[in-house]
Amino acid sequence: QIKNGFGQHQVVILKTDPSKLEAYGFNLYLIVLFYNPGLAFFKYSFLALYIRLFPLINWLRYSCYGMGAIITMWMVGNEFALVFRCNPIEANWIPTAGTCIKDETILMAQSIPTICFDVVMLALPVRIVWGLQMARPARIGVIAVFLLG
């Protein structure tokens, strides 16, 4: 992205070569579309770990499947919001081409559910670990490891 003006002020790029700003915006638009799937697959890997660690505990397995479905719906919804946040779509990389939803709205729609999903996913195995026949300090240590994620 350096060849497209990354690291330079927008005003400088507009004065020197405005086409670079458009190329940078388009590349950034494409890169941002991979952010939510990346988060989702990271969360899927945690859920898969729980399913493999505790295969005989049905409620945890079903909870993991349910969380996976919710995460998938969240990811698809956010992808649609990112793709169609501007009217026309080209306004994502050409700021003068149309109108867009505020970036803050999109960021909140991404971050608040992400934090909630993380808290729920990290807390899922706590009940199971607390029920293990171990010394209390060992249980607390194992729970702390799970909560650190």
Predicted confidence (pLDDT) per residue in 24-70, tens digit: 888 888 888 999 999 999 999 989 999 998 888 899 999 999 999 99
Q: Would you mind telling me the total number of residues written for the chain in this entry?
A: 149
Neighbour-count burial of 54, counting CB atoms closer than 10 A to its CB (0-12 exposed, 13-18 middle, 19+ buried): middle
67 found inside a domain: yes
Q: What pLDDT is recorded for position 142?
A: 85
105-136 per-position pLDDT tens digit? 988 989 999 999 999 998 888 888 888 888 88
Whether 103 is covered by a domain: the verdict is yes
The residue segments making up the domain with residue 106 are 10-148
- The amino acid that residue 115 corresponds to is I
Asked if the structure places residue 116 within a domain, the reply is yes
Q: Tell whether 48 is covered by a domain.
A: yes
Of 61, 63, 64, 59, nearest to 47 (Cα)? Answer: 64
pTM of the model: 0.80
Give 71 or 13, the one with higher predicted confidence. Answer: 71
Q: How many domains does the chain have?
A: 1
Strand ranges inside the chain, DSSP E: 86-87, 99-100
CA-CA distance, 20 to 72, in Å (whole number)?
35
Please give the residue that has the higher pLDDT: either 120 or 17: 120
Residue 15 within a domain: yes
In a domain, 91, yes or no: yes
